[in-house]
Amino acid sequence: MRRLRLELLVLFAGVLAGPAQAGGVFAREGIGEWLEGYDLRGETLGATGLGLIDPFSFCLANPASVAFAHSAHGYLGLVGSATRTKDGENESRHLAGTISGVGFGVPIGQGLALRFSLRPRTDGSYALRELVPTGSETPERNYRDLTGTRGFLAYQADVAWRAGRSWALGVSAGILTGSLLDEVEYTLPDSGWVDTEDRRTMRVPPTWTFGWGFQFTPHERIGIGGAMSGGGRLTLEETYYLEGGAEADRETTMDYPLGFGGGISVFLSERIRLTGDAYYRGWDNVEIGGAPMPQAGIDELHSTLRWGVGIERLPHYRASGNLLDRFAWRAGIAMVPWYYRDASGDDLIERRFTFGVGIPIRRTRGSVDLMCTYGQRGSLADNGVEEEYLRFGFGTAFARVLREY
């Protein structure tokens, strides 16, 4: 028993030093996917929306998008997922659900509009069951189960100014805070070894964030948008708890990665709209503990360029006719590279395929949006670990009905 505790303390001394293993990108050393702030409609359109201009856009990645709202409006998004992770020998399944965003916006006259929102900044939910060497004579019977919950939350306020119907500028300010929880359970069934478990928490005290964006319509069928976001230096407070009361603490800092991107929307016909976005996040320039990367014992971070393409058939708002013709139909694809690479230095890519429908609400001039996404992270052949998921989303955009309606 004392030998096992000693080995676990040695293991956690190594974890405190940093490096993630092949599966760590989806598990304990990663903070999860960095979410740029698209609403559910934008996620369905392949994670696009920087250049999507209409009265009900809730694209938090571009603070200028609120400028084109005609009246007070709100948004709520819910997402659930079923995930399967495998490394060729072992497999785990995990269910999770969260609020993907909530907020409201309001025009305040003279072309100005305000918006307030709360959303997750990272996807901090995962599970992984894997074989690990423990020093036992029968290592094939020993497993480690990793689970994690929570994430970092962004509280954001946007203010935008619109000049006529052609262009708008917006700025945002907010606070990033939250925590991650890792729970690790070791199953050691052979005699002489005792099952054990430990926990790791990582907390981020409130840190300021900022952003700006624009939207422009050079032609009635074309919308263009761009945005940038950044923030202050994050303080990471980590605590490791071992069974039996042992505890280890560490505090370090990490720069908020600066990001910028652009997007476009084009009407191919009166009711068919094509959207596309690209967003760069500068993880290469992040300093950890006030020192540039790479550092000994810490995995190097890599800048990412994510892109997506979506297509939408807009609803026909006539009062009569085919019911399905009054729905909005959407589909999209997205490529999302991760800021970590695997243990061999190969890139990890996430691929998404989405489909969804928007159901107009005549009473509020809003909509109910439904989404289904199939995604794949990494591959067994290239990275030694692979994750597949199905994600289901529900969102609603609603507004005060203007008298002219």
For the chain, give every domain's residue range.
Answer: 2-399
Average pLDDT rounded to a whole number, residues 245-271: 90
State whether the Cα torsion 293-294-298-304 is positive or negative.
positive
Between 376 and 199, whose confidence is greater?
Answer: 376
Q: What is the pLDDT of residue 20?
A: 30
List all residues 6 or more positions away from 73 whose beta carbon is below 8 Å from its beta carbon. 55, 56, 104, 105, 106, 366, 397, 398, 399, 400
Please give the average per-residue pLDDT across 318-341, as a whole number.
83
Question: Rounded distance, CA 391 to CA 388, Å?
Answer: 10
Q: Look at 81 and 292; give whichever has higher pLDDT.
A: 81
Q: Distances from the Cα of 401 to the Cαs of 40, 68, 361, 397, in angstroms? A: 22, 15, 11, 13
Provide the pLDDT for residue 296. Answer: 66
What does the pLDDT read at residue 56? Answer: 82
User: Mean of the pLDDT values across residues 11-16?
Assistant: 31
Q: Reply yes or no on whether the pLDDT at 16 is more than 50.
A: no
- Name the nearest CA neighbour of 308 among 332, 334, 336: 334
User: How much is the mean pLDDT over the chain?
Assistant: 80
Helix/strand/coil (H/E/C) assignment for every residue in 64-120: HHHHHCCCCEEEEEEEEEEEEEECCCCEEEEEEEEEEEEEEEEEEECCEEEEEEEEE
> Residues near 404 by Cβ (< 8 Å), separated by ≥ 6?
none
The amino acid occupying position 8 is L
**CATH architecture of the domain covering 2-399:** Beta Barrel (2.40)
Q: Where are the alpha helices (DSSP H) in 163-242?
A: none
pLDDT band at 375 (very low <50, low <70, confident <90, very high): very high
pLDDT of 297 higher than 70: no
72-108 residue pLDDT tens:
889 999 999 888 877 777 777 778 888 899 999 999 9
**What phi and psi, each to the nearest 5 degrees, are found at residue 222?**
-130, 135
- Pick 144 or 66 by higher pLDDT: 66
Range scoring the smallest mean pLDDT among 192-201, 205-214, 286-295, 383-392: 192-201
Beta strands in 110-195 (DSSP E): 112-120, 122-123, 126-131, 143-149, 152-163, 167-187
- Provide the pLDDT for residue 28: 38
pLDDT value of position 206: 94
